[in-house]
Amino acid sequence: MNDSVAFPASTYGKLLFLRCGLACVLALAACSGAFASDGLRWFDNGRPSGTAMQAVGILAHAEAEGLDPASYNATGLGMALAAAARDAAGAGEAARLDRVLTAAMRSYLSDLHFGRVDPRRISENYSSAAPGAFDPDAVLDQAVRDNRLLEAVAEAAPPFPLYDELRTALSTYRRLALDTAKTPLWRTNLPPLPGKKLEIGQTYAGLPMLIQRLTVLGDMPEDSFVSTRYSEDAVKGVMAFQERHGLEPDGVIGRQTLAALDVSPAERVRQIELTMERLRWTPIMKAPRTIVVNVPENYLEAYDVHDGKAELKTRMRVITGSAPKNRTPIFDLEMNAIEFSPYWNVPYSIASKELVPELRRYPAHFVKQDLEFVAGTRVIREFSFESLDAVMRGEMRIRQRPGPKNAMGLVKFLMPNKDNIYLHYTASPRLFERYRRDLSHGCVRVHKPVELAKFVLQNEPEWDEARITAAMEAGESTILNLREPVRVVIAYKTVRVHDGGQVYFFADVYGQDRLLDSALRGEGDRVN
């Protein structure tokens, strides 16, 4: 067939049946289900097949997946195939176009499944995909033989709901970015505030534009009254905006809220594209149970994974490493044990830079904070400046005994790694109430440790909530090795979709989006 419009496979078949009857459809199916007689994948007698035109249509709409059609020469291929549909290409030209289209589709399937950038290039150290888990060449070959190109593309995309939700959000924000009636709202930044912050009742020259922006973004009703006085209705709109952008929803416009309001829809399009790229190599579906910590959002989600679908079991706030010096590493690994009533072995970096100087000034804190020195197997509970000197020389270490003052809280979730990163509770739970929670030295503090322990131990029924709580409060360290390790993924997604389609954006706290954007614009290193 020489039709240049790429219909979905089912629609295409119905149209052909109506136009030329059953015999025609059967003949086409026989031709589409295998390579042409001249050994080409997309051409027969110099003319492109319907599947070839469908492939060009897929490449032309790559932007719907957050990919760039130009990376696959979609326009040039479309023009070349359209010309060959009108006037059959010679054998040499058909063979060349066949190779070019095959390479383009192979790259597209690879990019869609694996991503375009090796995450290790931007210090996101995820484990590699299992060998042979997805072979773009084999998938493409089989899809063309079976006339299942659209299905193959759908199966190559990340298999979890967030990706589909981001695809919808991308379409929405792209339409907004291209709307010539609305884009002028972001042509210039909002004017400076009259003071350090804007509160209800104050006047501000930028309010008319601000209210228009909130209306376009859906945070205020379309019939909202436009005024230069900061009214209660405008405050509610700003609070909705703040909630969707990881800001404290107090309705007060300060420096951070003003900066977020100035981010254009086109910039949000790119932010969504970057998050879609990350989802292609974030290993959420690799294990039957997975804990995902999203650093920019400062939330943890725990999933059961069955038959390629992830079911959310619990969600809670977390505190992550502070930028720029104490970042939580972006990686995946296995949790293999829980320590109830844990010790805190103070890392040398913290001891030398913070704790030892503090104890030199205030020696009484040694006893007050339940600290002790450890040298090999010897434990010393008496304070001395000589022991502090030994700590600085690396001959001793400081640890904190189990109990309510312990920095780890009452439980620690262990996952061996070179950075000594783990999940734990805290002696300062009030910090969970903050909206910006990148506050730790790198480890992840969890808000609901009992709930997380129940998820981790759900396949060990003897460990019910009462037993978990008793072990946490025992005051004596106990390490429980897990029968079944749990996958832990430290993720970095600055866009989420919640509440039936509401799009949430978070600050690029570690600058990882900036690094990924730079890598993609430089074409990056392909993952496979």
Which CATH entry fits the domain spanning 168-267: 1.20.1260.10, 3.30.460.80, 3.40.50.720, 1.10.101.10?
A: 1.10.101.10
Residue found under tokens 């294990």? 287
Q: Give residue 87's pLDDT.
A: 95
* pTM tops 0.75, yes or no: yes
Identify the H or E element spanning 485: strand 478-491
Q: Give residue 526's pLDDT.
A: 55
Q: Give residue 415's pLDDT.
A: 95
Q: Give residue 527's pLDDT.
A: 53
Tokens found for residue 517:
């954007």
Whether residue 19 is predicted with pLDDT greater than 80 in this model: the reply is no
Residue by residue, DSSP assigns 486-510 as EEEEEE--SEEEETTTEEEE---TT
Q: How far is CA 512 from CA 94, 271, 274, 281, 419, in A?
A: 43, 11, 10, 14, 19
3-class DSSP assignment, residue 330:
strand
Given a contact cutoff of 8 angstroms between Cβ atoms, the answer to whether 427 and 445 are in contact is no
Mean pLDDT computed over every residue of the chain = 90
Burial 276-296 (b: 16+ CB within 10 A, else e): bbbbbbbbbbbbebbbbbbbb
Rounded Cα–Cα distance for residues 503 and 508 (Å): 16
- The neighbour count for residue 487, using CB atoms within 10 Å, is 22
Whether residue 295 is predicted with pLDDT greater than 70 in this model: the reply is yes
Query: How many CA atoms within 13 Å lie on the side-chain side of 299?
Result: 15
**Percent of the chain topping pLDDT 70:** 91
Architecture of domain 284-505: Beta Barrel (2.40)
Q: Using alpha carbons only, what angle is made at residue 114 by residues 111 and 119, rounded to the nearest 5 degrees?
A: 110
> Where are the CATH 2.40.440.10 domain residues in the chain?
284-505
Q: Give residue 42's pLDDT.
A: 96
Q: Give residue 53's pLDDT.
A: 96
**Looking at residues 45-73, what average pLDDT do you find?**
96
**Looking at residues 69-81, what average pLDDT do you find?**
96
Q: Give residue 6's pLDDT.
A: 36
Q: How far is CA 397 from CA 79, 362, 379, 392, 420, in A?
A: 70, 18, 10, 9, 15
pLDDT 10s digits, 255-287 = 999 999 999 999 999 999 999 999 999 888 888
Rounded Cα–Cα distance for residues 118 and 383 (Å): 50
Q: Give residue 1's pLDDT.
A: 34
Q: Give residue 284's pLDDT.
A: 84
pLDDT 10s digits, 205-253 = 999 999 999 999 999 999 888 889 999 999 999 999 999 999 999 999 9
Q: Give residue 160's pLDDT.
A: 84
3-class DSSP assignment, residue 316:
strand
Whether residue 488 is predicted with pLDDT greater than 70 in this model: the reply is yes
Confidence at 408, pLDDT banded by 50, 70, 90: very high
| Residue 487 one-letter amino acid | R
| Residue 363 one-letter amino acid | P
pLDDT 10s digits, 113-140 = 999 999 999 999 998 776 668 899 999 9
